[in-house]
Structure 1
Amino acid sequence: MSENILEVKNLRAYYNILKGQVKAVDDITFNLKKGEILGLAGESGCGKSTLASSFISRKKPLEYVSGEVDLVGHEIMKMDEAEFKKLRLKTISIIPQYALDAFSPTKKIRTFIKDLAHQHGIKTDRAFMEKVEERLDLVNLDKSVLNRYSIELSGGMKQRVVMVISTILDPDFIIADEITSALDVSSQRFVATMLANLRDLEIIKSAIFITHDLSILYQIADRIMIMYAGNFAEIAPTDEIVARPRHPYTRALINSLPKVGIQYHDKRLSGIEGTPPHLLNIGDGCRFRDRCPYAIEKCEETPIREKVADNHYVSCWRWQELGSDLNVEE
């Protein structure tokens, strides 16, 4: 897994509004390896979905400001719409955040799939539809689903249909944006596991799984990247980041999750005090400093990205000084 599918360097993408610039993605650097699922986590509004949008669909008021994004040899931030359209579904694809609302209630699933394929210049001949039927079977859906309307399908079934459509051309890179947020717990687990299965079967090469639910990422992600208020906080292999988080925000997220075998009367969950900062014309400094129990005067300066261990990077002035104090609570 040494080959990188995606390389992102110092990416900045802002929302330009009348009052100024909302710095939703501000100096983000990371890579995605072939065969890897990278989990992207953080509170609502931290920039996760904006990061996805900057890759796949930069619609106003979101604008690319600076940085590089190399996707299997393509510098996609400099492509015009016509060039980029050739990559959609084949090289890069997305399972969108509001996928369950995407279906027309007046069209059968078969018609919906054909119409979408035609929009991307794909022939919907018998071979294509046979491939669709095979993929439906792969996600435990009968081909009879093609002759049903979306209103006849459960949320989990609709999500699986969307997964089939988004991966039908075996893309190199797929973005799964909050695809479990509207599902019950059993459906969440199935959909997340299905994404990992698609990777294992090499139907997709690599994926970014975006969620605010770290417990899902523990199941399928090879690495996890934490974002906070549009900034990079920490990235590491999943086991490493769970056992030895080095950023105070990462630790706070992990400690806010319920733990197996711990009763409420024995130990209450710890939340994160305060609220994230507004990103409109935000200045320098660590953006977590007003909520961080370890903040010092140095935190008024923007922290640099530092290497903690192999494949483990963090942006915090005090990660070395705090050391073991940043381990997750037992």
Structure 2
Amino acid sequence: MLTVENLRIYYATPVGHVKAVDGVSFDVREGEVFGIAGESGCGKSTLVHSLILRKRPMVHMGGRALFKGRDLMGLSEGEARRIRYTELSIIPQYAMNALNPTKKIRDIVWDLAREHGYSDREEVERLLRERLAMVKLSPSVAGMYPVELSGGMRQRATMVVSTLLNPDLLIADEITSALDVTTQRVVIELLHHFMEEGIVKSIIFVTHDLAILDKIADRIMVMYAGKVVEIGPTEEIINNPVHPYTRLLLNSLPRMGVQYRKQKLKGIPGYPISLLNPPKGCRFHTRCPRAIEKCPDEEPPLVRVGKDHYAACHLLGGEGQ
């Protein structure tokens, strides 16, 4: 479905380029949910947004993103607009504020459908009613403004808009971060339902919460400071993480039934590095409790550590990807 090769996406600033995505490679297979995890500022949102809509100061500095055989980095604005929402779509990070507040839901949907060649408004409204029912929203929502909806309702309405034209690949960018756990479950179940019904074929799910990816993703890619540090099947990443950063990320998650006075949460030491002038070598070495002599000078390659499981760390042996 999607093959990304050595992709570099920077932000142009008056004092230099911020290297938000710096040599990232991965693939997304048809029929899978591919999770991308990492702390704030690691480049995960920049990565997925570069696939669908690049705006200044975002700059493509190198690499390819082959989607169904076409390089997304080389598409003209017209070509990108034609596949946006029909073949490749996104539920944005701030989905609850993504809808035009001055238009009713039916008018937002009609504008989108008309832009992609639909001319029968009655047919579009019929499809809208069907999708609203699918996400358990009343047909009356079609005639409401976004401000009239609760946060959870707006989230589901945004999901309807993003998937209305049956995109092959859907990007869900941090869509559960502002939701309570009950609504998170509803959203995750809806994404699974979209795949079961053939509305979308594959999903990229972006989050900082590995616990959510454990429930939804088939494979997980962990990013740190614009780089891939580990990638593999979800069960392997959750139960057998090999990169120090992945282990620390998992150890920082709270556990049910464990009281603070018995076991304190373990945070990751230090602070995220500046991507304007990142350090040489492994970008995690300034915070890594297991750093060795060559970590500050040599960038570790991504090596195979198991079946379909890769990590970038000098402490690991294995075959190059």
Instruction: Tell me which interval the TM-score lies in, with the shorter structure as reference length.
Output: over 0.9
1:44 correspondence with 2:13: no
Match of 1:213 among 209, 219, 235: 209
In the alignment, the residues of structure 1 paired with residue 172 and residue 138 of structure 2 have an alpha-carbon distance, to the nearest angstrom, of 23
Matched letter for residue 303 of structure 2: E
Aligned residue pairs, count: 317
Map Cα deviations across residues 201-253 of structure 1 (whole Å, 9 max, x no partner): 22100011111111111111111110001111101111111110010000001
Shift in Å, 1:121: 3.9
1:97 correspondence with 2:93: yes
Q: Retained in 1: the 8 A contact 2:225–2:275?
A: yes
In the alignment, the residues of structure 1 paired with residue 84 and residue 103 of structure 2 have an alpha-carbon distance, to the nearest angstrom, of 23
In the alignment, the residues of structure 2 paired with residue 61 and residue 111 of structure 1 have an alpha-carbon distance, to the nearest angstrom, of 31
1:181 correspondence with 2:173: no
Q: Retained in 1: the 8 A contact 2:303–2:317?
A: no
In the alignment, the residues of structure 2 paired with residue 205 and residue 88 of structure 1 have an alpha-carbon distance, to the nearest angstrom, of 15
Shift in Å, 1:297: 1.5
Farther off after superposition, 94-103 or 105-114: 105-114
Q: Retained in 2: the 8 A contact 1:114–1:124?
A: no
1:298 aligns with: 294
Shift in Å, 1:67: 0.7
2:221 aligns with: 225
Q: What CA RMSD, in Å, does the superposition of the two structures yield over aligned residues?
A: 1.4
1:325 aligns with: none
The secondary structure found in structure 1 opposite 2:41 is coil
1:193 correspondence with 2:224: no
2:314 aligns with: 317
State how 1:148-159 maps to structure 2 within 5 Å: 148-159=144-155
Map Cα deviations across residues 115-142 of structure 1 (whole Å, 9 max, x no partner): 2333444335222221111111111111
In the alignment, the residues of structure 1 paired with residue 26 and residue 252 of structure 2 have an alpha-carbon distance, to the nearest angstrom, of 26
Farther off after superposition, 71-80 or 280-289: 280-289
Match of 2:21 among 18, 25, 40: 25
In the alignment, the residues of structure 2 paired with residue 312 and residue 124 of structure 1 have an alpha-carbon distance, to the nearest angstrom, of 48
Farther off after superposition, 184-193 or 238-247: 184-193
Farther off after superposition, 309-318 or 123-132: 123-132
In the alignment, the residues of structure 1 paired with residue 28 and residue 102 of structure 2 have an alpha-carbon distance, to the nearest angstrom, of 39
The secondary structure found in structure 2 opposite 1:253 is helix
Shift in Å, 1:193: 2.0
The secondary structure found in structure 2 opposite 1:39 is strand
Q: Percent identity?
A: 51
TM-score by length of 2: 0.95
1:328 aligns with: none
The secondary structure found in structure 2 opposite 1:299 is coil
2:305 aligns with: 308
In the alignment, the residues of structure 2 paired with residue 28 and residue 103 of structure 1 have an alpha-carbon distance, to the nearest angstrom, of 31
Structure 1: 5+ residue stretches without partners:
322-330
Shift in Å, 1:294: 0.4
The secondary structure found in structure 2 opposite 1:151 is helix
Farther off after superposition, 210-219 or 121-130: 121-130
Matched letter for residue 132 of structure 1: L
2:65 aligns with: 69
Q: Retained in 2: the 8 A contact 1:117–1:124?
A: no
Map Cα deviations across residues 270-299 of structure 1 (whole Å, 9 max, x no partner): 101111100003243111101100001111
The secondary structure found in structure 1 opposite 2:61 is strand
1:160 correspondence with 2:156: yes
Matched letter for residue 45 of structure 2: S
1:255 aligns with: 251
In the alignment, the residues of structure 2 paired with residue 239 and residue 126 of structure 1 have an alpha-carbon distance, to the nearest angstrom, of 46
State how 1:109-120 maps to structure 2 within 5 Å: 109-120=105-116
Matched letter for residue 54 of structure 1: S
1:278 aligns with: 274
TM-score by length of 1: 0.93
The secondary structure found in structure 2 opposite 1:227 is strand
The secondary structure found in structure 2 opposite 1:266 is coil
Q: Retained in 2: the 8 A contact 1:189–1:216?
A: no
The secondary structure found in structure 2 opposite 1:297 is coil
Matched letter for residue 302 of structure 2: R
Structure 2: 5+ residue stretches without partners:
none
1:326 aligns with: none
Q: Retained in 1: the 8 A contact 2:2–2:29?
A: yes
In the alignment, the residues of structure 2 paired with residue 34 and residue 124 of structure 1 have an alpha-carbon distance, to the nearest angstrom, of 31
In the alignment, the residues of structure 2 paired with residue 102 and residue 246 of structure 1 have an alpha-carbon distance, to the nearest angstrom, of 38
